[in-house]
Each structure stands twice: as C-alpha cells, then as structure tokens.
Structure 1
Amino acid sequence: MSKRTLDAPVAPAIWPSLMAGETPLQAVTCYSPADQTEKTGCYEWANSVHVDAAVTKATASFTSWKNMPLPQRSRLVSQWLETIEGSAEQLAAQITQQQGKPLREANAEIGKSLREARMMIAFAANHGGYELPSSHAEQRNLCLRRPLGAIAAICPWNFPVMTPLRKVVPALLVGNTALLKPSEYTPAAALTLVKLADGILPDGVLQYVCGGADVAAQLVAHHNIKAVAFTGSVTTGQKIAAVAGANLTPVSLELGGKNAAILDRDCDLPAVLEQVFAAALQCAGQRCTAISRLIVHESHRDRVIELAKTYFAKLIAGDGRIERTSLGPITTAGQLKAIEGIVERAVSAGAELLLGGKRFAPDASSNGLFFQPTLLGCSNLQNPAVQEEVFGPVLTLETFNSPEEAIEKLNATKFGLTAALFSNDRHVQDLVQSQAEVGMLHINHGTTPDDNMPFIGTKNSGLGTGSVGRSSLDFFTREQSIYQR
C-alpha cells in the first residue's frame, strides 16, 4: 500500500450542483484516521442558501417522481444499485480511507447494503393499499399509502454506504425525493453514491448536501422537509425530534446501544467467544450493534479473561488498506478522547482494568488514532462503562448466578437495541426471549441481522419504525382512507 494524499479540487457543497460560483461558508479538509497527516479530501459545506435551494429542487421534483409507476421507479433504483455494485472497489477504498475500517469490512458493508436494498425493492412490490368491507353495498372502502414529499436522511460516519442506502432506497421506492447529508468526517462515499445516480434517477430526486450540525439543523427545521430519518447519538436524536416537532415532521431515529451477550453455564465458550469478540471489535467497536457487555455465568469468568487475552493478542492494528490489518483506527480524534475518558471514569468508579485501556501507536500507523482492545471487570451496574455507550473496542465483564439475574443485568440500561444469548437450556431461551428489553435478540447466533429483518431498537435505542424490512416503507408514507361510491 502506498500513501496517497488527495489534491483533487474541493468537492461541492451540494450535488448535483445548483449554485456554481457562489463562495461557500467554509471548506473542510478530511484526514485519514490511520494517518492524521494524510489528507483524504476537501469539502465545501453548504450554507442556508444552499440548503433552501436543494430542498426547493427536491420539492419541485416530487410530483413527477411520485406519479411515476412503481415498477418504473423500482427499475431506476435497481439500475442505480447496479452502478453502485460496479463501483464497489472505489467505494470500499473511500470508506477505509475516511472511516478507517479494514478493506474487507468495507467490502462486506457494501455487499450487505446492496442485499438489503434489493430486498426493499421486493418489499415495495407488495407495499400499498388494501380494501376493507363497506357498510354500504354500493361503496368501496380503500386504505392507500401515499408518499410524503422531500425527506432528509442524516447519516453517521461509521457506515458511510450502508446507512444512506437504508434510508434513501425505501424513501425513493415509495415515491419520495431525498436529501442525503452524510457525516462531515466521511462524505466521500455519500458523494459518490449520489454521483452514480446521475443520468439514472431524474434530476432533483436524490441530492447530496454536505456540512456539519448546522446544516443538519437547517434541514430538520425546513418546512418543506416532510420526514427525517436519522442515525446517531441519543442526545442528537433528542434535539432532532424536538426541532422536527415544531413542524409536526415525523422522525425515524436509530440511536445508540449497550448490547450484551449472555453466556450461560452450558455454552461452548471458545466457539461462542470467537463470535462475540468479532461482534465487539469489528469497526473497532464503532457500531451501534457492537457487543459491549459480556454477562457470563460466574463459572466462566477466569476462562473468559484467558480467552480474551489470546484473542486480543492476535489482532493486528493498522491502516485498513494493509491486507493483514484486523483492527482499524478510531475514526475521529474526538471519539478517541471520549473512549479514553469513559475508561478512566469507569476505573475511577471501581471497574477492574483486566486488559488494554489505553491509546497506542502501531508501528505501521504511528500517526493514527488507535485504542487498545479493552476488557473491564464490572460488578456495579451503575458503572459508566456499563451504562454509557462507549463506541470503541471496550467490553465489560459481568457475572451472574441465575437466569433471572442475567436478565436483570441485561435490562439495566436505558438502551434496548440488540442482545445475544448463548444457552442450550430451552427454559432459559424462553425466559430471555420473553423478558429481554431489546429490539433484536439473537439466540445461539451472532448479532449480524439478516437482510430482510427489521433493524429496530427500543427504549433509548430508537424511535419510529425500524430501518430495513417492510415497516420502513410505512414510515416514508402516510395512510389515506378512501370511500368510493
């Protein structure tokens, strides 16, 4: 791998470009998280004029797009997905260069994104109205689904292709137009996605809008934005919901997680931990579905520490473009600082530092943002490492004596995204299935969701319908009752 600094022209604030020649408010340079001296691009940030122009264009394009027959819309979206698949190598390189994950993880992200998107095309073919009995012989009662208008998709930096497609594809299929605002830290892949739609999707149907929190706020508050789909932190999600509420704009919020894996007395510990540690450390733990808590039967504690030490030692940290890399960097300096801070507070509050716990500099990436895989022993459920989303390669180790105690610990946080249970006891399986306060539960199965299943959280992990699955199409439409004589 050779280091490459991008000296390309500054990327536009919006795409397709609407206001050539206008001086942007600011242009921001992005740097590789694996090497903070390497530029990965320079991006204009939209101002309020840009945002308003983009929303106006999306609104103007809505009528013709919604009136296009669904089979035709689906064919155009399918063609767009084919161009994305043909550009997978470029997109994977952009993901790795700006987000940091190893190339094989970036390629896996693109593959899963496309499978989910194509599943949504199949769901859309069967989504729509239905007829109910009428109390009058000469009358028909119809319940139909109508698109909303221009929607805003506000996306985080950890999955630069998957999250945009999860929001944009279902919105477009049911007849909405979309404005995609990616994270300011990883805009390259999103810009490529939208550029790949040029010449396939009609003008104004899909636009890219670049910027930070102020641009997101302008989109959410805009009176012509008819729905907001957001993935990110609980705090930001709460702000978005409050601003959108002023316009009665519906929101879909995919928020954080504090996901636990319960390891029962009878599980095959080495085999199970291979799955659990992979789920914890992919993307350097920067996933809302990352396993961040191990709740293990007390008889397993010492063996878990031993196996964690062996697994962590095998990981090779470095630039994700190097084939042997199995642990990438933390994406931003701010996130690295936050991880350091929560580990320090956890130890100060009584957690036992069992493994890792510090930032470090791999030989091959001495200027990168890296944090050691970390295991913290926690007996206090109020410890910050148990209660707060770390979003890094940090696991807590907690023990239990009975299934009831395990469930109590599982449910003892404000989050409710996903969880895993490894047990061969059918009674324990049924008990956890009925009592776990999570949107997604995996029993004797790793935490990777299927491409056709709803991706959804409860409690502080989400609001509204899930992304992926049939219900996501419902979010981007409104129901209409029609009485026809």
Structure 2
Amino acid sequence: MAEYYGNFIGGNYVTPRRASWFDSVNPANREECLGMFVDSGRQEVAEAVDSIVSAAPQWAGTSGTERAAILQMALVALAERKEELARVMTREQGKPLQESLNEIGKSISEAQFMLGEGYRLNGYTTMSEKPGTWAQTVRVPVGPVAAITPWNFPVLTPMRKLMPALITGNTAVLKPSEYTPLTGLKLVEILNSRGLPKGVLNAVTGGRSTGEALVKHHAIKAITFTGSTAAGRSIYKLAAERLVRVQAEMGGKNPAVVWDPPSMQEAVKHIVSAAFLCSGQRCTAISRVIVRKADTAEIEQAFAAALSELRPGNGLENGVTLGPLTNEAQLSKVSGFVQRAVQEGARLVLGGEPLKEGEFAKGFFFPATLLADVTGEMEIAREEVFGPVLIVQAVETFEEALAMANNVEYGLTAAIFTKDLSVAGRFVDGIQAGMVHVNHGTAPESHMPFGGVKASGVGPGSVGPTTKDFFTDIKSVYLKHS
C-alpha cells in the first residue's frame, strides 16, 4: 500500500483535512508507486507561507555568521544521509545511482561556497556630499521566498535556491516538481533535522496551480524558478502584477562547435558526457554539434561508437549509464521530435525509437540518438528536446558556425573545441550565452555565476556571488555625526 505524505511545514509533515492526492511512480517501472502526495491549493499554500512569515523576523535578525553555522549543520545531515536520498532520487527521477550521488555531492559543494557569503554580505562606505556625514549601504533580506523547481535535478536545483535564500536571511517555501515530490520533501526534511528554526524552510507539493498560488500570495517577496521558458514567462507575468522580483533559469539549445580541436577523441568524450548525463534532461545539455563539412564523417563515426557504449536501464542496477526519461509525457515528446526531424530530412544515424521490449517494457526508456544532415531551419535545430538526442550540423566557415550557434531564442551555455586561440577568442566574444566553455563540456563550477541570456534567463545568475544580489535589498544610510 502506498505511503501518504503531507506537506512539510513548521518542522513536521502536515496533512490537510480534505486533501486531494496525486502519486509519484518509478520511471523505470511505472507499476512501482513511491507515494501519494498533497495536491496543494490556496489554503495549503497559505499555511506554508504563514509559517515562513512568522519565522522571518527572528531568522533575518540572526547574524550571517550564525546562520552559516546552523546551515552547516544542515549540510552535515545531508552528507550523512546522502546514500538514502540518492536512492530515493534514482527511484523517482530515473538517473543512474552514481549520477544521483554526484548531484548531492555537487549540491553540498555549491552550498559550502554559499555559506561563506554569510561572512560577505557587504555594503560599502563612500564620501558624503555633506560635511560631518557618513554615507554607506547595507544589505537586508528581501523577504519570504518561493522556490519552484523542476524534476531533472531534484536536489541540486532546490539547493541552488534554498541555500542562497537562507544564508542571506530569508525564509523560504519549496514547491518541487509534481514528478519528484518525494525527493523534494525528503531534502527539506533532512535540512530541517539539525537545528534550523521551525518554519524557516517549508515545502508544499502539487502541480501548476500550486505554483501559481505561491506566486500570487501577497506575502511572497521573491520567486526563484527553474523550468521551461513557457512556464518562466507565465510566472514572470504573474509576478509583474505584484511588482515582485523573479529569478528564472529556463531552457537551452546549447551548441558545441568543433573546429580543429586539440583532440577529436577528447572533444567527443566531453560532448557525450555533457549531452547524455541525466538522459539529456539538462538545461545545460549540449544538443547540437556544429562542425566543418570536411569533418562530418569522422565525427559521426566517433559519436556513433561512443553512444553505442551507453547502457540504458534501471538506474539502481550496476553498469547502467542511461536511465529512463522521467515521465511518459517526456517520452512522447522526445519521440515526436525525432520523428518530425526525420520527416523534415534529417538522417537517423543511431537510436530513434522508444525501448519497449524485455526489461524496458514497464519504463519510459529512450536510447541515445544521433541525427545528421540537420539544417538550421529544422524544428530539432531550434527547439529544446530535453532528451538523449544529439544533432550534427555542418558548415563551411567559422562565421557560419558562430551564426548558426546564435540562431536560436536561447542563450544558456555553449562550448567550443579548438586549438586555435584566435578562434576561441572570437567564439567567446561572439557567442550569445551566459556561460561559455573552451575545450571542455558544459559543467559549471561551484563558485561561478550560473545563468543565461535571451530566453534562457532572467535576473541575477544563481550559484556564486551574484545570487545574493537577488536575495537581498540594498539600503542606503546617511549618518550625520557632527
């Protein structure tokens, strides 16, 4: 019998009197139900928000260094329960267990940097226009925060929002994806288990209407969101009606330009890792490779060989390197993109059809797929697929390659593989992306700003020092001392 989980509010699980419920299933085996969860409406959202509003004054009044010490205890708890949470994540999201473990490790690493920001919540002092006066600025918490997160990184993405919010003195409500509610609840439970004052961090489960109720709640002063560009636009529009700030990290259609690389083998290795981790369900996934026409045969052969070595299967099994897609809608979406690409004239090199036989029959499995002869006008060259699909686009000149890389509405991340420093410099200067990688895949570091431009991002980047600009207000202070 499935276990029922309430929302996590004020340090405990709380079940509404008249709850509506939804389930979460294992994408590797849809017959395995992981639990039943509250489909939270306005009343349940209000209860969670009221709780963080009540906790806000005390938490904001706690010094940054003391907040860092409390949150460090939360990270210790997360590290101690890393294996437990990773197994929950793999069963609910689908990614191989080692990827889940790595995700939690990355989350802790990024959070450790953010805890240091508790010591760096600096303003500045400047000359006053008037004699006998000091002029300075101080940072203050923006207020109660709503964090709305997707299903692809159900620990890393919430941590990128919750730790910056909390260390800067804000309280927060997490609304995890309805496809990974158990992972989100367990994360918040763990973070609350070691000294975090009750009500500082809560979690509510539900779908789109739950998120809308959070965004519309009058007490929420900032919304930090990661998800699709369409959902981000909707949230931005709702928030604008209340003049509430939004930090949104959205879609990507990330290119890798391979232009006389130091090593073709190393370039392919980096691209395959960046493209197929999390079964390609990453906003930073490389989804298109732009090469010189003379190199297309070589690179297609290299990719086909590398992709053939990926092993699909249940993420809890040893040796699996490609888990299922997270839900049935995603499987249908990815399959549709590939079918339409072939109809438009793309050449299917590898993969292309859902895996439905034997061990794959009960899950949402799609193989590593490679498409060639893709032109810039095709849908699959412009739209985010969010699956294990890589396309190859051929050009004659570097100018064409750069133009093709920029010819999408997104601008999250990009990579170039070249041994020509001049080409690398022209790419870094000309690419329309928030993050640029030269001779390695699109893996961000734990202390660097994370965010995009164009339809990929709004507001200060998450991770690194820039994120505190979103979670704090600047207050100007003038002090007449004589």
TM-score (ref. length: structure 2): 0.97
User: 1:340-393 deviations in whole A, cap 9, x for unaligned?
Assistant: 111122222222222211111364333110112111124421211110000000
- Cα distance in structure 2, aligned partners of 1:266 and 1:177: 47
Q: Deviations over 1:125-153 (max 9, x none)?
A: 11221111112221010111110111000
C-alpha deviation, 1:32, in angstroms: 0.6
CA distance in 2, matches of 1:323, 1:344: 31
**In structure 1, distance between residues paired with 2:97 and 2:271:** 21
Amino acid at match of 2:136: L
Q: AA paired with 1:138?
A: G
Q: Please list the CA deviations of residues 58-107 of structure 1 after superposition, one character each: whole Å capped at 9, or x if unmatched.
A: 11111111001111111001110110111000110011000000000000
| Secondary structure in structure 2 of the residue aligned to 1:75 | helix
CA apart distance, 1:199:
4.9
Does 2:456 match 1:461?
yes
Q: Are the counterparts in 1 of residues 23 and 33 from structure 2 also a CA contact under 8 Å?
A: yes
Distance 1:447 1:21 in 2: 41
What amino acid maps onto 1:146 in structure 2?
A: V
Contact in 2 for aligned 1:15/1:194 (Cα 8 Å): no
Report the secondary structure of 1:395's partner residue.
strand
* Secondary structure of the structure 1 residue equivalent to 2:221: strand
Q: Does 1:130 align with 2:128?
A: no
Residue in structure 1 matched with residue 202 of structure 2 by the alignment? 207
What CA distance in whole angstroms lies between the structure 2 residues aligned with 1:370 and 1:340? Answer: 10
Contact 1:134 1:140 in 2 (8 A): yes
- Counterpart CA distance in 2 for 1:250 and 1:378 is 43
What is the rounded CA distance, in whole Å, between the counterparts of 1:229 and 1:337 in structure 2?
29
Q: Letter of the 2:333 partner, please give it.
A: A
1:181 paired with 2:178, answer no
Distance in structure 1 (CA, Å) of the matches to 2:258 and 2:35: 44
Quote how far apart the aligned CAs of 1:324 are. 1.0
Any idea what SS the aligned residue of 2:317 has? coil
Q: Give the secondary structure class of the aligned counterpart of 2:172.
A: strand
Paired with 1:181 and 1:474, the residues of 2 have a C-alpha distance of 22
Q: Aligned letter for 2:225?
A: F
> C-alpha distance in 1, partners of 2:320/2:258?
28
CA distance in structure 2 between the aligned counterparts of 1:17 and 1:180, rounded to whole angstroms: 13
Aligned residue pairs total: 479
Which position in structure 2 is the counterpart of 1:103?
97
The 2-side partners of 1:421 and 1:156 are apart by 28
Q: What are the within-5 Å matches in structure 2 for residues 326-365 of structure 1? A: 326-361=321-356, 363-365=358-360
Match of 1:436 in 2: 431
Partner in structure 2 of residue 32 of structure 1: 26
Aligned to 2:64: 70
CA shift for structure 1 position 408: 0.5
Q: Find the counterpart in structure 2 of residue 4 from structure 1.
A: none
In 2, the alpha carbon distance for the partners of 1:479 and 1:362 equals: 58
Give the residue type in structure 2 aligned to 1:34. A
Cα 1:172–1:72, aligned 2, differ >3 Å: closer, same or farther? same
* CA distance in 2 between partners of 1:258 and 1:209 (Å): 31
Q: CA deviation at 1:42?
A: 1.5
Deviation at 1:17, TM superposition (A): 7.1
The one-letter code matched in structure 2 to 1:191 is L
- Conservation of the 8 A alpha-carbon contact between 1:142 and 1:483: yes
Say if 1:358 and 1:20 are closer, same or farther in 2 by CA, change over 3 A: closer
Q: Report 1:464-475 matches (<5 A).
A: 464-475=459-470
The residue that corresponds to 1:285 in the other structure is 280
Candidates 93, 114, 121, aligned match of 1:120: 114
Cα deviation per residue 1:247-291 (whole Å; 9 max; x = unaligned)?
A: 101000000110111101344111210110111111000000001
Residues of 2 paired with 1:199 and 1:92: CA distance? 19
AA paired with 1:291?
I
Report if the CA contact (8 A) 1:14-1:50 is conserved. Answer: no
* d(CA) in 1 for partners of 2:324, 2:177: 17
Task: Give, as a single letter, the amino acid of the residue that structure 1 aligns with 2:30.
Answer: Q
Judge which range, 149-158 or 294-303, deviates more.
Answer: 294-303
Q: Does 1:244 align with 2:239?
A: yes
Q: CA deviation at 1:311?
A: 1.3
* One-letter amino acid of the structure 2 residue matched with residue 132 of structure 1: T
1:170–1:473: 8 Å Cα contact kept in structure 2?
yes
Query: Greater CA deviation, 400-409 or 81-90?
Result: 400-409
Task: Supply the distance in 2 between the matched residues of 1:263 and 1:298 (Cα, whole angstroms).
Answer: 11
Does residue 146 (structure 1) correspond to residue 137 (structure 2)? The answer is: no
What is the Cα deviation at residue 25 of structure 1? 3.6
- Measure the CA separation in 2 of the matches of 1:312 and 1:44: 40
- Output the CA distance in 2 between the equivalents of 1:362 and 1:132: 69
Does structure 1 residue 49 correspond to structure 2 residue 43?
yes
Deviation of 1:21 after TM superposition, in Å, equals: 6.0
Q: Does 1:305 align with 2:300?
A: yes
Greater Cα offset, 207-216 or 37-46: 37-46
Shift of 1:483: 0.8
Q: Is the 8 Å Cα contact of residues 265 and 300 (structure 1) preserved in structure 2?
A: no
Give me the whole-angstrom Cα distance separating, in 2, the residues matched to 1:387 and 1:454: 25
Per-residue deviation, 1:14: 3.7
Q: Distance in 1 between matches of 2:326 and 2:16?
A: 31
What secondary structure, in the 3-state scheme, does the structure 1 residue paired with 2:209 have?
helix
CA contact (8 A) 2:271 2:441 kept: yes
Q: Distance in 2 between matches of 1:450 and 1:235?
A: 27
Ranges in structure 2 where 5+ consecutive residues have no aligned partner: none
Q: Which of 465, 471, 479 matches 1:484?
A: 479
Give the letter for the 1:282 counterpart.
L
Name the aligned partner's letter for residue 392 of structure 1: G
Contact 1:179/1:206 (<8 A) preserved = yes
Is contact 2:151-2:179 (8 Å) kept? yes
TM-score normalised to structure 1 length: 0.96
Percent identical residues: 38
* Aligned counterpart, 2:267: 272
1:318, 1:362 within 8 Å by CA — same for their partners in 2? no
> Cα deviation per residue 1:225-265 (whole Å; 9 max; x = unaligned)?
00000000000000000000111010000001101111013
CA separation of 1:215 and 1:17: change in aligned 2, threshold 3 A = farther
The reply on whether 1:10 has 2:4 as its aligned counterpart is yes
Equivalent position amino acid for 2:393 in 1: E
1:5-39 residue CA offsets vs partner (Å, 9 max, x unmatched): xx453000343478956334411111110011111
Cα 1:125–1:280 change in 2 (3 A) is same
In structure 1, give the amino acid aligned to 2:375.
Answer: N
